[in-house]
């Protein structure tokens, strides 16, 4: 009885060659990085001591930590509001079914692609180099990734409404603003709000991490504690950050559920 072949001939050889290539690239990467695994293994004995130190918390720091968390949230919210306004305008101009000019739409999509390709940390460093350290630089720096994320997301949601509704509104003599606001946005508002909620959560996380490079907020407080090897402060800050992010995660999930049930 003949046995049916379930894979193409030569597939096994291709898999084997692929695995060899991956292993080779991995070894080259380890060599170029000059990783010292011996030092890592020798330091493993210190893990127990570090963990024992980090199990100590300093409750007296919680008020000051919460104040810096509030700063991080305000940075995230301010950049989100400004970024949302900019993103909505750009998305309406770039969406295939709404774009008044094809060339402008292509230019906007290209700019957004560049913004998305550059990490938020790079944007904040460029802004800090221009305006200096502080909350202003952090807020402006967060606007760029917000615009990159929301413009693409908004455009995708606006395009999902299709061309038929837009063409029907055009046939009634409606102008471009009425088509965008009354025709498409009303139908896609739940998706847009969902994108905004998700971006707000991301902004808070990025705002915390950006504090490590000198921007205000709880990230800056954490960086100072790390530099001083203040383990109780580090542990307390991490716990507060975890609780904060967990709360916003739950809020985001609930918002998305309510929007999808409408």
> How high is the pLDDT of residue 1?
46
Q: Please choose, from the candidates 32, 211, 39, the residue with its C-alpha nearest in 3D space to the C-alpha of residue 139.
A: 211
> How high is the pLDDT of residue 5?
56
Between helix 102-117 and helix 62-94 the angle, nearest 10°, is 150
> How high is the pLDDT of residue 85?
94
> How high is the pLDDT of residue 160?
79
Q: Please choose, from the candidates 210, 69, 205, 223, the residue with its C-alpha nearest in 3D space to the C-alpha of residue 128.
A: 210
Q: Please choose, from the candidates 250, 256, 259, the residue with its C-alpha nearest in 3D space to the C-alpha of residue 187.
A: 259
CATH class of 65-260: mainly alpha
**138 within 8 A of 76, measured Cβ to Cβ:** no
pLDDT per position in the chain (262 positions), as tens? Answer: 455 555 566 567 788 888 999 999 998 988 888 877 787 777 777 777 778 887 888 888 889 999 988 888 888 899 999 999 999 999 988 888 777 788 888 999 999 999 988 887 888 788 877 777 777 888 888 899 999 999 999 988 888 766 667 777 777 777 777 777 777 777 788 888 888 988 988 888 888 877 766 677 788 888 888 888 888 898 999 999 899 888 888 887 887 777 666 5
**87 within 8 A of 150, measured Cβ to Cβ:** yes
**250 within 8 A of 258, measured Cβ to Cβ:** no
> How high is the pLDDT of residue 87?
93
Distance CA(76)–CA(120), nearest Å, equals 13
**248 within 8 A of 208, measured Cβ to Cβ:** no
**232 within 8 A of 60, measured Cβ to Cβ:** no
Q: Please choose, from the candidates 208, 241, 238, the residue with its C-alpha nearest in 3D space to the C-alpha of residue 54.
A: 238
* Domain edges within the chain: 65-260
């Amino acid at each position: 009885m003949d046995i049916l072949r379930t894979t193409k001939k030569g597939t096994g050889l291709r898999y084997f060659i692929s695995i060899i290539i991956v292993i080779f690239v991995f070894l080259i990467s380890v060599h170029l990085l000059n990783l010292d695994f011996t030092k890592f293994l020798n330091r493993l004995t210190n893990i127990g001591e570090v963990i024992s130190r980090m199990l100590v918390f300093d409750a007296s720091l919680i008020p000051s930590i919460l104040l810096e968390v509030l700063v991080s949230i305000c940075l995230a919210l301010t950049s989100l509001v400004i970024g949302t306004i900019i993103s909505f305008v750009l998305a309406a101009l770039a969406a295939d079914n709404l774009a008044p000019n094809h060339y402008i739409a292509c230019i906007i999509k290209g700019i957004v692609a560049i913004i998305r390709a550059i990490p938020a940390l790079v944007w904040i460093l460029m802004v800090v180099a221009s305006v200096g350290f502080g909350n202003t630089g952090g807020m402006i720096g967060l606007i760029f990734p917000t615009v990159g994320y929301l413009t693409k997301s908004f455009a995708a949601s606006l395009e999902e409404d299709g061309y038929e509704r837009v063409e029907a509104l055009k046939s009634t003599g409606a102008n471009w603003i009425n088509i965008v606001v009354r025709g498409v946005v009303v139908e896609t508002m739940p998706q847009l709000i969902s994108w905004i909620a998700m971006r707000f959560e991301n902004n808070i996380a990025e705002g915390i991490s950006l504090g490590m490079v000198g921007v205000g907020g709880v990230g800056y407080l954490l960086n100072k504690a790390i530099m001083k090897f203040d383990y109780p402060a580090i542990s307390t800050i991490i716990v507060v950050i975890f609780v904060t992010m967990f709360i916003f995660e739950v809020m985001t999930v609930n918002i998305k559920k309510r929007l999808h049930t409408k």
